[in-house]
């Protein structure tokens, strides 16, 4: 396996090397980098042209300029070089670090959400093949997949940013919208749950009732402008996740797994009180990242200690429960600071930029500001990617369900839950893993349009500016990140193949 990974890594590096030569050649021959200065009427035009020629090395052949960039890249990787300067004299490495941080947090979040939602939708539609739910989801998926990015972005700006900002200033209950949303979600959930007509009717009425009642209570308690949760809500969330995850993974009859989930909930409540002062004061990203690592480790430890003969399932349930409770705790602290954000930014969701410039506030206010700026482009990229994941998951699940070992599993008397999750789902993940690897790198490249529409200073802006100015240094920096991401994600896919299918390890 190690030789296979090293061989794949070596071939990928050769591909990157060849692609970098081709891209550099195409960029330097795509136009005239001196066109703006040739049209200038400035008295020192000749001096400006000579300076730019010297800075960009325009008096050298393209391959000499490429070798200079390659030498700089080698020094940069060992901390003794740079990625060059753009034609304005700025260090490309500094521009790259800022652009990569903006784009990667957008792409990573969109990819994770797309995988979770797309895989879940694909599994449900495969189980409910040729049902009304299957046809409705298929229609919506193809609709989302064919949406023009710029048009969908305009709609999101109009209704989820401008419309919401106008509404949050003077919140009012729109009963028509609430009832319509309740009916749509009720119909969707009853179709997904299936079952006899009485069960479908109860699911529909319960869902619609909860949405209508919840909307009224949130308005009456002013939850839109002053949201809050508290320990009781945290406990309910933890118990719901622990019981639900146990029912999904092994069934509630497996007491060891259920016990591990409930103990994780108890430890989560201890962590809620133990970390409240730390998180409420003025934390930083490193503290939250460290707490996240501790959360996962606690979940793994509880699962292994209490799982008995079902350690793997217990670890899964405990980790999921711990992560959801940790996310809920973070969400509560964000809610506590939501009124503070509204005081300094009355229109919280902006349509341009990745953060509000020159905003000086506490950590949570800045965190909320970046989160609201992240909302619209993340929704847009997620909607587009969900279509791909759901279609591949559905087709892969249907193909696996026709295999002989699936019929054998049912003939042995295994429950439908075990057949779907342990046999069908795991084997259907192999082709989906390939899509995950390519989609991550593809989203970084596809985010060019999204970032342009939403005014993000990310990798897309870096690439577009370099290309428009016929400046290879920023374009090659963009290629360095996207190419490396493609190589690493393909390497991760190879490792996941071996995890999912032990035959690949031989």
What pLDDT is stored for residue 297 in this prediction? 94
Same domain, 397 and 307: yes
Band of the pLDDT at 142, cuts 50, 70, 90? confident
167 and 316 together in one domain: yes
- Based on the domain organization, do 339 and 453 belong to the same domain? yes
Looking at residue 304, its pLDDT comes to 92
Asked whether the predicted pLDDT for residue 506 surpasses 70, the reply is no
Q: Do residues 292 and 394 share a domain? A: yes
- What integer pLDDT is reported at residue 119 of this predicted model? 87
Q: Is 207 exposed, middle or buried (0-12, 13-18, 19+ CB in 10 A)?
A: buried
Dist. CA 12–CA 487, nearest whole Å: 6
pLDDT of residue 505: 56
Residue 56, in any domain of the structure: no
Domain match, 325 and 196 both: no
Give the separation between CA 71 and CA 14, rounded to whole angstroms.
Answer: 17
pLDDT digits (tens, 9 = 90+) for 297-341: 999 999 999 988 888 889 999 999 999 999 999 999 999 899 988
Return the biggest CA–CA distance within the chain: 88
Mean pLDDT of all residues in 202-207: 89
User: In the 8-state DSSP scheme, what is residue 309?
Assistant: G
Query: Residue 1: what pLDDT?
Result: 64
For residues 201 and 419, give the distance between their C-alpha atoms in angstroms, rounded to a whole number. Answer: 28
> Which runs of E-coded beta strand occur in 417-467?
none
Q: What is the pLDDT of residues 269-295, one digit of tens each?
A: 999 999 988 888 778 888 898 999 999
Do 132 and 185 lie in one domain? The reply is no
Pair (263, 359) in one structural domain? yes
Q: What's the confidence (pLDDT) of residue 400? A: 84
**Residue 282 and residue 187 share a domain:** no
**17-31, 264-278, 480-494: which has the minimum mean pLDDT?**
480-494
Looking at the structure, tell me whether residues 234 and 308 fall in a common domain.
yes
CA separation, residue 213 to residues 190, 227, 229, 265, 286 (Å): 19, 16, 17, 27, 39
Please, what's the b/e burial string for 256-290 (b: 16 or more CB within 10 A of its CB; e: otherwise)? bbbbbbbbbbebbbebbeebeeebeeebeeeebee
Q: Flag whether 195 is in a domain.
A: yes
What distance in Å separates the CA atoms of residue 380 and residue 446, rounded to the nearest whole number?
Answer: 11
- Can you read off the two tokens belonging to residue 287? 């503290």
CB-CB neighbours of 384 under 10 Å? 21
Residue 449 has pLDDT above 80, yes or no: no
* Residue pair 420/123 in contact by the 8 Å Cβ criterion: yes
Residue 504 has pLDDT above 70, yes or no: no
Is residue 260 situated within a structural domain? yes
Q: Out of 20-24, 205-209, 494-498, which region has the weakest mean confidence (pLDDT)? A: 494-498
Q: Are 12 and 490 in contact (CB under 8 A)?
A: yes
Span 252-267, average pLDDT: 92
Give the pLDDT score at 34: 80
Same domain, 397 and 271: yes
Q: Of the candidates 84, 34, 25, which has an alpha carbon nearest to the alpha carbon of residue 58?
A: 34
Q: Which of 458, 489, 373, 453 is nearest to 96 (CA)?
A: 458
Containing domain of residue 177, as a range? 172-221
Q: Residue 352 corresponds to which tokens in the numbers above?
A: 């341009």
Q: What is the pLDDT of residues 346-369, one digit of tens each?
A: 888 888 877 777 888 888 888 888
Tally the domains of the chain. 2
Burial 92-106 (b: 16+ CB within 10 A, else e): bbebbeebbebbbeb
Both tokens assigned to 283:
């934390």
* C-alpha to C-alpha distance for 205 and 182, rounded to whole angstroms: 9
The structure tokens listed for 341 are: 């954000």
Q: Is the pLDDT of residue 263 over 60?
A: yes
Helices and strands (DSSP H and E) totals, the chain: 22, 0
Taking residues 410-420, what's their average pLDDT?
Answer: 78
Q: Which residues contact 70 (CB under 8 A, 6 or more apart)?
A: 20
Domain final residue, candidates 221, 248, 279:
221
Rounded mean pLDDT of 251-263? 90
Decide which of 180, 198, 221 is a domain's last residue: 221
Q: What is the pLDDT of residues 46-104, one digit of tens each?
A: 888 888 888 787 788 888 888 888 888 888 777 776 777 777 777 888 888 878 877 88
Instruction: Let me know whether 180 and 321 are in one domain.
Output: no
Return d(Cα 437, Cα 423) in angstroms, integer.
23
pLDDT of residue 501: 67
Asked whether residue 54 is assigned to any structural domain, the reply reads: no
Q: Which domain-ending residue is among 205, 221, 237?
A: 221
51: in domain = no
Mean pLDDT of 153-168: 86
User: Is the same domain home to 302 and 188?
Assistant: no
Q: Rounded to an integer, what is the distance from CA 58 to the centroid of its chain?
A: 41
Give the model's confidence band at 399: pLDDT under 50 very low, under 70 low, under 90 confident, else very high. Answer: confident
Residue 71 lies in a domain: no
What is the per-residue pLDDT for 298?
Answer: 93
Mean per-residue pLDDT over the chain, rounded: 83
| Inside any domain, residue 337 | yes
Q: Decide: residue 360, CB within 10 A, 0-12 exposed, 13-18 middle, 19+ buried.
A: exposed
Give the residue, 423 or 257, on which the prediction is more confident: 257
Residue 57 within any structural domain of the chain: no
Average pLDDT rounded to a whole number, residues 243-262: 89
């Amino acid at each position: 396996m190690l030789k296979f990974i090293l061989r794949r890594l070596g071939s990928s590096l050769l591909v990157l090397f060849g692609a970098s030569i081709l891209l550099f050649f195409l960029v330097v021959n795509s136009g005239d980098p001196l066109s703006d200065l040739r049209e200038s009427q400035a008295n020192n035009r000749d001096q400006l042209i000579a300076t730019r020629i010297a800075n960009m090395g325009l008096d050298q052949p393209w391959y000499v300029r490429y070798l200079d960039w390659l030498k700089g890249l080698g020094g940069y990787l060992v901390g003794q070089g740079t990625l060059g300067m753009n034609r304005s004299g700025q260090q490309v490495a500094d521009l790259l670090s800022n652009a990569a941080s903006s784009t990667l947090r957008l792409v990573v979040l969109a990819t994770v959400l797309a995988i979770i939602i797309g895989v879940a939708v694909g599994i449900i539609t495969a189980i409910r093949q040729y049902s009304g739910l299957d046809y409705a989801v298929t229609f919506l998926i193809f609709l989302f997949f064919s949406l023009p990015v710029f048009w969908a972005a305009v709609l999101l700006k109009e209704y989820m940013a401008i419309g919401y900002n106008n509404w949050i200033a003077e919140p009012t209950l729109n009963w028509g919208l609430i009832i319509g949303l309740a009916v749509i979600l009720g119909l969707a959930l009853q179709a997904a749950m299936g079952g006899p007509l009485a069960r479908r009717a109860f699911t529909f009425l319960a869902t619609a009732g909860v949405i209508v009642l919840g909307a009224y209570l949130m308005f009456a308690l002013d939850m839109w402008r002053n949201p809050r949760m508290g320990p009781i809500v945290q406990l309910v969330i933890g118990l719901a996740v622990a019981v639900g995850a146990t029912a999904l993974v092994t069934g509630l009859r497996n007491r060891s797994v259920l016990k591990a989930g409930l103990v994780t909930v108890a430890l989560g409540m201890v962590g809620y009180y133990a970390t409240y002062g730390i998180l409420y004061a003025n934390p930083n990203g490193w503290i939250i990242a460290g707490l996240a690592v501790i959360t996962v480790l606690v979940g793994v430890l509880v699962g292994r200690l209490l799982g008995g003969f079902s350690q793997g399932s217990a670890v899964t349930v405990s980790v999921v429960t711990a992560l959801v409770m940790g996310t809920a705790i973070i969400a509560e602290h964000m809610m506590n600071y939501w009124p503070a954000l509204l005081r300094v930014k009355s229109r919280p969701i902006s349509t341009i930029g990745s953060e509000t410039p020159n905003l000086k506030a506490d950590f949570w206010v800045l965190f909320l500001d970046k989160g609201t700026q992240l909302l619209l482009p993340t929704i847009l990229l997620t909607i587009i990617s969900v279509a791909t994941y759901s279609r591949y998951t559905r087709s892969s699940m249907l193909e696996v369900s026709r295999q002989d070992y699936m019929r054998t599993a049912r003939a042995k008397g295994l429950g439908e839950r075990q057949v779907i999750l342990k046999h069908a789902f795991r084997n259907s993940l192999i082709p989906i893993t390939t899509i995950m690897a390519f989609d991550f790198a593809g989203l970084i490249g596809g985010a060019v349009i999204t970032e342009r529409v939403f005014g993000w200073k990310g990798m897309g802006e870096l690439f577009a500016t370099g290309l428009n100015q016929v400046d290879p240094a920023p374009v090659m920096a963009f290629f360095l990140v996207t190419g490396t991401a493609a190589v690493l994600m393909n390497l991760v896919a190879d490792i996941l193949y071996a995890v999912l299918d032990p035959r690949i390890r031989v």
